[in-house]
Amino acid sequence: MMARTYVELSQESLALATAEALAAAEVIGGRRVPESETEFEAPMLAVDLPGPEAPARWAGRLALARRCLVDLGSGDEVAPAAARAGTRRDSASFRRLGHPSAADGPLVRELGTAYKEAGGTIDLEQPRRRFWIASDRRGVFHLLEEVSAVDRAAVAHRRMPQMPFQRPVSLPPRLARGAANLARVAPGGRVLDPFLGTGALLLEAGLLGARLYGIDRDATMVRGAIRNLEFVGVTAEELLVGDAGAVEFSVPSISFDAILTDPPYGRSSSTGGEGADALVRRVLPRWADRVVPGGRVVLVVPSGSAPIPGPWELRTAVPVRVHRSLTREFRVYERGPSPHDERGLSRSSG
């Protein structure tokens, strides 16, 4: 049975957060709910998820979100819903969604009183249950219960200053995890980064359970990426030093479930003297041809760049400010129909 679940999205990059949440829900069997049914004032997304364990799995994948919630009641039903919850006699907090420090106000006090009168207790510091009040676009209040939280602190601990091998151009972990989710990385799936760098993208894919493959022409980068992967407890299947347009893995013509990469645009020192655009156009088609039906190619590239030809079709392009002076598009490609390629898509895009 599918259960309606909401996620409060981070507003640091709302378009990317939305795309990440949808793709991550797809991996665990979820499906999007029409926006007309989920119009909250706070940045929220609703999906239907399969089974009681799914919200925790969803939250565990996400970086650009805050918490997963279920709707207990709206309008005149919010106070009775709070009272029903109080019969379990757990400690709880009540706050306004989007204002986590706001634990006061008439409605908050009313719901807290109903909860206490039914047998529960209020604990704003370490509650066993967390309830949030949110209004929809009609001005109707809803009582939502947090069923799982996104571990944003764990993501922050993977920032480049915390890693053993550091380079200033590496993607922040929240964006790298977002890209990994756009690729619909699943446990056991093979993921390739042909421009490995510090390993930031493969690191996040590995934490999602993927089998990792990578290439970089710079041996120092490969050694450094190995250190970063080991730092978070992840091991790659195979990492190669060499030209990604020529080297081969130990199993020739191995296929992949996704390509996930941040090519070296604008960083001539990492291209071996070859123009960055020419390098990417030479390398990517070779590996994209090995992506299985239904797989994805996710690139972090300058806007306007189209580095892989048909039958690959652009499904999503989200511009994101990566650093103070650097903006990139997070692009999702899927294989479209072609008379020369029978490997049609088996899944819809996120």
Measured CA to CA, the distance from residue 29 to residue 27 in angstroms comes to 6
Q: What are phi and psi of 43, to 5 degrees?
A: -70, 100
In a domain, 342, yes or no: no
Tens digit of pLDDT at every position of the chain (350 positions): 899 999 999 988 899 999 999 999 999 999 999 876 667 888 999 999 999 999 999 999 999 999 999 999 999 999 999 999 999 999 999 999 987 666 678 999 999 999 999 999 999 999 999 999 999 989 999 999 999 999 999 999 999 999 999 998 889 999 999 999 999 999 999 999 999 999 999 999 999 999 999 999 999 999 999 999 999 999 999 999 999 999 999 999 899 999 999 998 754 445 567 778 888 899 999 999 999 999 999 999 887 767 788 889 999 999 998 777 778 899 999 987 654 444 333 333 33
Q: In terms of residue numbers, what domain contains 212?
A: 157-335
| Dihedral angle sign, alpha carbons of residues 217, 219, 220, 224 | positive
Q: What is the pLDDT of residue 104?
A: 74
Residues 177 and 324 in one domain: yes
Residues 119 and 195 in one domain: no
Q: Are 11 and 45 in contact (CB under 8 A)?
A: no
Q: What is the pLDDT of residue 270?
A: 58
**Other Cβ atoms closer than 10 A to 99:** 12
The domain spanning residue 18 has which CATH number? 3.30.2130.30
Q: What is the crossing angle of helices 14-27 and 54-61, to 10°?
A: 130
Q: What is the pLDDT of residue 302?
A: 84
In a domain, 343, yes or no: no
In a domain, 349, yes or no: no
Residues 163 and 58 in one domain: no
Q: What is the pLDDT of residue 271?
A: 59
Q: Which two tokens stand for residue 178?
A: 């977002």
Element (H, E) at 117: helix 106-117
- Domain end residue (candidates: 134, 150, 166): 150
In a domain, 170, yes or no: yes
Determine if the peptide bond prior to 309 is cis (ω within 30°).
Answer: no
Residues 213 and 312 in one domain: yes
Residues 10 and 82 in one domain: yes
